[in-house]
Structures are given as structure tokens and as C-alpha cells.
Structure 1
Amino acid sequence: MNVDFLDALEQLAREKGIDKEVLLEAIEAALISGYKRNFNSAGNVRVDIHRDTGEVRVFARKTVVEEPEDTRTEISLDAARDINPSYQLGDVVEIEVTPRDFGRIAAQTAKQVVTQRIREAERSVIYGKFADREEEVVSGIVSRIEPRVAYVDLGDTEAVMPQSEQMPTDKLHLGDRVKVFIARVERTTKGPQIVVSRSHPGLLKRLFELEVPEIYDGVVEIKAVSREAGYRSKIAVHSRNPEVDPIGACVGTRGGRVQSVVNELNGEKIDIVEWSEDPATFVANALSPAKVVDVQIFETEKVARTIVPDYQLSLAIGKEGQNARLAARLTGWKIDIKSESQVSGEDLFTNLDEDPESDDNAVGTLADDWLNEP
């Protein structure tokens, strides 16, 4: 090593944001291992890289004793005082043992250590940068597509988007620019892994924050989101300012704001409903676009039983129960749906099962019964 090496190391350290002293200490530690391996030395050695000249020297460290038992690690008091009369028992003597061809080993080791430390530093920087951006929306370019995963170039690194995080309606192609939601950032043996999503409900929420200034400013709040990615979603919004219409703010002039979100999600239908503290009102709103005649809440069973006009029943339940399923997820209530004619002449609200069942999608039991009728 020489002065040119130190200059190059200093420049590299500045470019990569790594402390030069940290690199030199790492090289010294690696050289100790290299010396032990190549010269069958005991563990009592120290490697010193001169900070001005780059000269590398190896020192054997020996403890001063009366009668040495292992001459590799111990030195007699008389021999130590031949080097320096001031040595006492228990002192540590350093004796230079630099091999003749150690410069070649030092150069090779230094290259390996610097490369490794730079890689580690870059990984650490990337992890730190994206760990702080979890749950954000970023733009990227589809760089690779494999059967069960797509890779998205985020500029500084490549993120992975598993099939489970892709929208069923997405038809990704190489070079496509897409907006993705940073679902999680993980440390792995190969460096940070950034997992992004197009199906996460958080993507819908963040897209509305980008499109609706009232949401970004905190005037309008998104209270809940339920989503079946690529097909249909519902969001519940609430205005902290009574003079601001939360639904109108999200829809925008001539529907421009919501249409921008729909276009980004490849035509996914989005129902925007008003949130309410009153569970009955919220459930009725959540079943939009269906009109609800009446809602009765059963707190203990966490069930909301609703009555809709006959001609609105199929609309309230939706295709394959989708509307009721999304409304149930949005509100957190099991929703049972009946038409006016179905409840005519029967006391619907006094025949609630003690332990109502629900399917995995949390659609109410009465809605399930209706769907299963021949």
C-alpha cells in the first residue's frame, strides 16, 4: 500500500458516505486474519497501517514473564529489557514480524474488505431510506417479470411485487411505469428487500391523499377502506369542517379526482360513502348505491340487520355478495339483508340467533341464506 491507495480510499469513502477510519480499521482487522491464516501465527498480533504513508507493519504482542512457556505469546524479562530497559513483568512487548511479501497479501485483502464494506454501506443506506417510507406510494418501472413475481425499479434499488400483491386486472409489461405501495422493508442476507403492492388497501388511501388536497391537509379524513383489488372498493370519509362536503371533495369537479384514482387502478370501481359515528347510519351509507329503508343494530352479536326495497335487494347484496361483503369489512359489522316483502308479516328483529354464523368474508347470515336459495 502507498499514499495513492490512501488517497483513493479517502475519495471512495467520501463518495459512498463511509468513514475512512472505519475502512482502515476493517482492513487492519482483516489483515490480522490473513496473517494468522498464511503464516500460522498465534492470535497475539497487531497490524498497523500508517495513516500518512500507507505502510503496513505486523507486530507480535508478547507478555513479559520470568520464564516463558510459549515463546509465541511470552517473552522473558531479560529479553524484553534488551529491547527496552523500562519493561516490567506483565508488560506487553510488540516486536515487528512483517513478512517480506506481506504487501501483496495486504493489497488483496484491502480490496476485498473495501468492496465488502461498500456493499454493506450501500445496503444500509437503501434500507434506511426505504424503511422510513413504508406505507408510502412511489412510482417505479417494471424491470422484470417472472411467473410468480414482478420486479419494479425504484431508482436506487429493485423492489419485489409477489403475485399476491398484484392486482388481478393488471397486465404488466416491461417498461411500464406504475404506482406501488411500499408494504414492508426487510433485512435479508442478500441486503434489504422492499416488498411493494398494487392490491393493498393502503394504495387506494394514498392515491386519494395525492389527488384530494382536503385529505392531504387533514380537513377530510379517510376513516376506513375495504377493497377487492381490481374490481371494487369502498372508502368511508368524514369532514372535520362542516362546510366541506367530504364526498364532493373526493369526487372532484365532474368526477375528475376520483377518475384519476380509477384510471391508476385500471378501472376499479370505487364507492365513496360518508362515515358516521352512528352504526346504523354508517351501515346504511356503506351499502351504497343501494337505498336502505331501516337498520337495526344488535351490539352484543355485532350484527346490523337491514331492510331494503324489493327492487334494491340484489343491488344491496351485489354480484356474488360483493357489495354486502365490502360494506361489512368497511363498517366492521356483520350485515344481514332482507327485502321489505321478506319481512312483511314477520317480526324480523326478535328472531336473532343467539350465535349468528358468518362466512369468512363477514357477510351477514341472512344475506348468505338469500344467496344460497335455489
Structure 2
Amino acid sequence: MRSDGTMVEFNPFMAGTDDDPYPTYAWLRDEDPVYHSERHGFYAVSRFADVEAVSRAWQRFSNAQGIDIDQTGDLFGPNFITSDPPDHRLTRRLLQHRFSPRAISDAIEPLVRDQVNELVAKVAGNNAVDVGRELAWPLPFSIACHLLGFPSEDREFLWDASQRFEERQVGRSVAPEVAERAAAELRLYVAEQAAGRRRNPGHDLVSLLVSAEIDGKPLSELEIVGNTFALFNAGTQTTACLLTNALVLLGSHPEQLAWLTRNPDRVPDAVEEFLRFEAPVQHFTRTTTEEVSMHGIRIPHGSKVVLLYGAANRDPREWIDPERLDLSREPRRHVAFGEGIHFCLGAPIARLEGRIALEALLPHLRNYRLTDPPTRLRSHQLRGYVSVPAALA
């Protein structure tokens, strides 16, 4: 309850929550750090230390019953993100070498640079361009499709289907029919791609999953589809949200843009501040495997516990003046990519794409401005934009 007597409710499905959740986050951190939603039945932790602790305690807070507050992950099929050890560890180990520093440096970084240069050339000097649709979304889709071996001519379908997959309706705590249909289309597409790799394997991630064995057994069809779907979704949506958030924040904070223009060597630090200030993934969910007590609150066995990354990343117990965007801030650990054994596998690639894109764009942003209000991605979980109309001339 606020000082004026009005009740505070954290309801991610309510109209307006995605516009500005931060005042509610601040109240939760200070007044109700283990919040219980009587309406939806979940608990929510908002302080940085608590989010970090729960993220690391996978034995008591499981991923295996889903990580999405609206059970979106059920539409994927079984995958390494929604599993616990030993299954999680074995599948992640199978993929890990494709995301190693050497693999990124040798194979992925040149690809990112080529794509960024091509996309920046299209928007540079333009006084009426949607930098969301023309740059921020195409870049991660291009990279993800390359890594998975998806044909370039399929990218328009994949972009459209992934947008429909993320569609949410105000007041509904389950995915609408449009999202379910999109998920079915994407699963069918992935299954067809996997069938093609069995006939003609390549060096992409789908071929790796099709040919892989864990404990002497090949992955099932459901596991191949689920893991491919998860890799595609995680590698596109969240990075696009990082980039669109950065482009909107630079347009709405001209003093920060001016500082970054004078200090281009600080772009890597700026990427971390964008991630902290506007976490692309605002929350994930865990399920308790036993009764747990936090801050004197008893959380029963089998309860859903929401980890509010967006709240944790603005915790004044961890940062000075955390509600202020400060690109000169010395970077420190945040939870935009999670924590513990489920720390985002693709985090190095997301950071790479963010850094290279901003470094290439920066010389063209001296007159950068937003020309119309950006359009938010309608999601209960992701925070970013679909459209960012701007001028670069």
C-alpha cells in the first residue's frame, strides 16, 4: 500500500505495465521484496541480491516447469533452457564450443561486421528511416539465421512469425491464438529444416543437433525442434530489444549521445549500461522444489517465483542513482543475461552485435533524433520496440 492508501499491484498482464514498470519495481524492492500476487498466484523477488541468489540456487528453484510468466515456453517444446541438470548441463555442453571466444572471434565477428556495414549504409544520412525495422531487427535475425543454417530467403517469414509469436493481449495471462499459430508454424519450419540436415548435413547448429548424441542416444525430434526454436528466439528477440532500447535511449537522452560521440572507445561500457537500464528480458520464472523462506515469507513447494531482472538492475543497494541512464558509469555485474548455470549462452554474441552496431552507427548519429513515438513490442516479458522512426541527417 502506498502512503496515500492506494494498493500497489504488480500485474504484468495489466494495461500500462509495459510502458513504465519502474515505479512499481521501486515500491516492491523497498516495501515488499517477496511479493505475492493473489490474482495470479506467483511470488516475485525484486532486489538484486535476491534475484542473484535464486538464480544460482537451481536445486531449489527449477527451470524444468517453465520460465515464462505466461507459459510461452510451453510452445517451444523441450529445450536446454527449460531443463535442469543433468539434462541442461549435457545439452549446453554440446552447444558451448560454438559460442566460445575463439569461435566468436574467428567466425561470428567477421559476419557481424559485414552485416552491420551493409545495414548502416542503408540508414546513414537518411532523414526519415525506421532504425528498428531497418537495422535493429534485421541484424540479429541475419546472424541467427546464418548460425542455424536457415536460408536468407526465409527471413521475412521468420521475422513475421516471430513477431506474431510475441503478440500478447492486455489482461490475458495466456498466449493468444495468433501466438499459438505462429509457434506451430515455427515448429513445423524447424522440423523441415532438421529433416533437410539429415539428408544433407552442414556446419550449422541444426546439423549439430541432428547429428548429436548424449550418453550414446540421439536427440529426439521434439528435443531438436525445441532446442532450435529456443536458440532462434533467444538469439533474435532479446538482441533486437537491446538495440532498439539503445536507439530510443540515445534519441531521448541527447546529452548521453553527445558524451558517447566524444568517447567512442566507451561503447562497450555503454552497451552494459543499456542492458542494465532497460533489461531486454524483464523477468523469468522458477518453480520451487521445496518450501523456501525469504525475508520471513514462506513460499510453498511448487510455487512460481518471478525473478524481476528489470527491478534488480535498478536496485539502489547496488548502484548509485540507478534510475539515471549514465553511459559513463563504470560497468559492473548486472542480471540482464541471468545468473548461475542458466546464464545466457548467447550473451557474448548479443554484446558483440550491440558493440559493433553502435560503433558503426556512432559517426552518423551527430544529428540523430526520434521523429515519431517508437512502437513497443507487446510482450509480458520482453522490453523493447518494434519500430523506431528517426532521422540521421
- TM-score over 0.5 for the alignment? no
Asked which structure has the greater RCO (Cα within 8 Å, sep 6+), the reply is: 2
With normalisation by structure 1, the TM-score equals 0.22
Q: Which has the higher strand share?
A: 1
With normalisation by structure 2, the TM-score equals 0.21
